[in-house]
A and B are shown apart, each in its own frame.
Chain A
Amino acid sequence: MSDTTHPPAAERRVDVAGQWTLMWWKFRRHKLALWSGVFVLFIYVIALFASFVAPKDPNAYAARYAYVPPMKVAFMDRDSEGNRTFGFHTHGWKVETDPLTLQKNFAPDPDVRIDLRFFAPAPEPYVLWGVLPMNRVLFGPADATQPFYPLGADRLGRDVYSRVIHGSQVSMTVGLVGVGISLVLGIVLGGISGYFGGWVDNIVQRSIEFLKSIPQIPLWMGLAAAIPAYWSPIAVYFMVTVILSLIGWTGLAREVRGRFLALKSEDFVTSARLDGCPELRIILRHMVPSFSSHIIATLTLAVPTMILAETALSFLGIGLRPPVVSWGVLMQEAQNVRTIATAPWLFAPGVAVVVTVLALNFFGDGLRDAADPYA
């Protein structure tokens, strides 16, 4: 470490570094948070390129592959003479119908080899982001007519893997949009409350306490169930996020208010006021920059709450509805214990939720620690 051998140089570097640089240095030391951040970014990239990453259309169905188990991707194989061959491939499944129960059983079929490749032809040409016509997908069977179910299929023979990837689009953005709405509400109400104090503060604080003292999920359920069934999926999506943020803004407002209260009596704010700075400029130019890092951290920690709430509502069938694909909607397939006993891979969207929320929590925790670089 050269820093320790030349302390004066290092100290000078710390002295002249800006606030955001200091925060980045502090955040960087928190390895778990750093990698979680990278992972979250990775999920958003996947969500952005979902139709390219997913080998199939999320709503494409094939009844004869209903409940087909996951197909393992292998790289090494032996040909008929026993020599090693290389190349991505998987094996198909034989369907055996039980003569007594008429239940379909799948058994691996070593004779059917399905070759896989990167930039495989798409089953059907599609248009990425509504502008780019594409006919390739990231990874899939070399022959697009062959089946490929890396995470198995659901009751209609839809590819769970493709559906989870497409589901990320809705699930990940619900968090962002919801947090965006909460941010506006939280900053405006929390700011007013903290800056003016007095009876305004009292009213806002009492409303926050009121919202917090009522069990959220029954309230969400009541509000979400009132969304008319004939609304378009986009309208439903928007309404759900609005409902989630109408109750979710309270934590943010408290954070903003606390910061305002703490900063209001700081010397630099007083001196700005003595210099004749207008109120709005004091808020925007002097106060907001000193707590924006805390807000970003609180926002990051609010995203997973929104994701979990959307998942729960959609799972109950009163949030988003098919044909919209979100992780909560996908979990509806796994409502029945007999279904998941025969097809445990239907838990996949749940795993996606847990992993994502975990990463967002670690990331947000690291941000919160780094938000105050002088501590």
Chain B
Amino acid sequence: MGGYIFNRVLWAVPILFGASVLSFAIIQLPPGDYLTAVMASMRSTGESVEQSQLVMLRERYGLDDPMIVQYWKWISGIVLRGDFGQSFIYNRPVDELLWERLGLTFVLAFASMIFVWLVAFPIGVYSAMRKYSVGDYVMTFIGFLGLATPNFLIALILMYVSFTVFGTSAGGLFSPEFADAPWSWARFWDMMGKIWIPVVVIGTAGTASLIRIVRANMLDELPRPYVEAARARGLSETRATVKYPLRVALNPFVSRLGWELPDLVSGATITAIVLSLPTTGPLLLEALLAQDMYLAGSFIFMLSVLTVIGTLLSDLLLAWLDPRVRHGLM
């Protein structure tokens, strides 16, 4: 186990390095350097551009240095000092904008994951036990529909329904009075009352694919001789299916956790834009459109870092659950 954990953690290092290089490349992608964008934005708002300020920024990001030095200045700032650079559309340090939104994004992603499990697991088992029944067909069809509908479209439809039927807007994560309030139980409950809409939206595609996997796994296990043997020994039908085949079918839940997380974070990004949630999505889009690249790059980098860590945790959980994984047999 110790060796497995060591290897797995060690492997996360090059991935994190790759993510940082990729994010830095995205920061560098738009034509011109960061200061061109800053100046363009300042001019469009009529602010005067101060020469001394520009020189300072140029020095801080090392814009005249070779690329590798710029990268070093950027990544060492993040790792050593938690300095992600400056956002010019908000005129604030990026890290002030980053943490709460990142936190909410992951709260959303994890809530969606729990939703996916709670829904997909019973339905998948039911579909397998009642193969080719009406219920199975209906569930399979709904599953396909969930896979085929883009997240943002489900979000739009839900907003449309809640607007026309209930007369309220489904957007946002907090009521107006809690939007900028500090965390409290009241704020938490307020969020819980609204979070289910994005959770359902983000979770649909994942639920659909997980239902199919659980169903297929159960169908693989049910005809196995050991199930037959359990029946022959007089175990009740429920016990004969729940005790062993179900446990095998449970594996993909954990092993897919790592695969699911990037998708859920992706889904959370785009759903948040449509529902205007106070998470990373809308701010990332805004930053990209305004070419506020240090803000955008930091978001992409931190989303990747947290996803990689989440995947790592799920892999360790799987190794703890399944001896075949930790001995490298799978």
Q: Which residues of A contact B (CB under 8 A)?
A: 206, 209-210, 212-219, 221-223, 225-226, 228, 304, 308, 311-312, 315-318, 331, 334-335, 337-338, 340-341, 344, 347, 350, 353-355, 357-358, 361-362
Contacts and interface: CB of A to CB of B under 8 A. Distances in A.
Given A215-B266, A215-B307, A344-B160, A361 B288 contact: no
Contacts of A312: 150-152, 270
Contacts, number: 132
Contacts of A334: 156
B153 A214 contact: no
A225 B160 CA distance: 28
Given A213-B307, A318-B288, A219 B159 contact: no
Contact of B157 (A210, A228, A347): A347
B138 interface: no
Given A215-B307, A357-B148, A350 B159 contact: no
B273 to A, nearest CB: 6
B266 A216 contact: yes
A315 B274 CA distance: 10
* Nearest 10 Cβ contacts at the A-B interface: A226-B29, A225-B288, A217-B266, A357-B148, A222-B26, A215-B265, A358-B148, A215-B266, A215-B262, A214-B304
B26 A226 contact: yes
B160 A221 contact: no
A350 B156 contact: yes
A212 B259 contact: yes
B284 A315 contact: no
A223 B26 CA distance: 6
A215 B144 contact: no
B38 interface: no
A88 to B, nearest CB: 31
A361 B148 contact: yes
Contacts of A344: 160
Contacts of A337: 156, 159-160, 163, 169, 171
Say whether chain B's binding surface is mostly helix, strand, loop, or mixed. Answer: helix
A361 B140 CA distance: 12
Contacts of A358: 144-145, 148
B174 interface: no
Contacts of B119: none
Interface in B46-73: none
B22 interface: yes
Contact of B300 (A210, A218, A361, A362): A218
B156 A354 contact: no
Interface in B17-36: 18-19, 22-23, 26, 29-31
Interface of B: 14-15, 18-19, 22-23, 26, 29-31, 144-145, 147-153, 156-157, 159-160, 163-164, 169, 171, 258-259, 262-263, 265-267, 269-270, 273-274, 280, 284-285, 288-289, 291, 296-297, 299-300, 303-304, 307-308, 311
Contact of B160 (A214, A315, A341): A341
Contacts of B31: 228
Most buried by A among B22, B159, B262: B262
22 contacts: A214-B22, A214-B308, A215-B269, A216-B266, A217-B266, A218-B284, A218-B300, A221-B285, A226-B30, A316-B270, A318-B285, A331-B152, A340-B156, A341-B160, A344-B160, A347-B160, A353-B148, A353-B153, A354-B149, A357-B147, A358-B148, A361-B147
A213 B308 contact: yes
Given A214-B307, A318-B289, A354-B153, A221 B269 contact: yes
A73 B148 CA distance: 29
B300 A222 contact: yes
B231 to A, nearest CB: 27
Contact of B267 (A217, A315, A354): A217
Given A214-B262, A341-B160, A354 B169 contact: no
A213 B160 contact: no
Contact of B15 (A210, A318, A340, A361): A210
A202 to B, nearest CB: 11
Given A316-B270, A337-B169, A353-B148, 4 more contacts: A213-B304, A215-B303, A222-B296, A358-B148
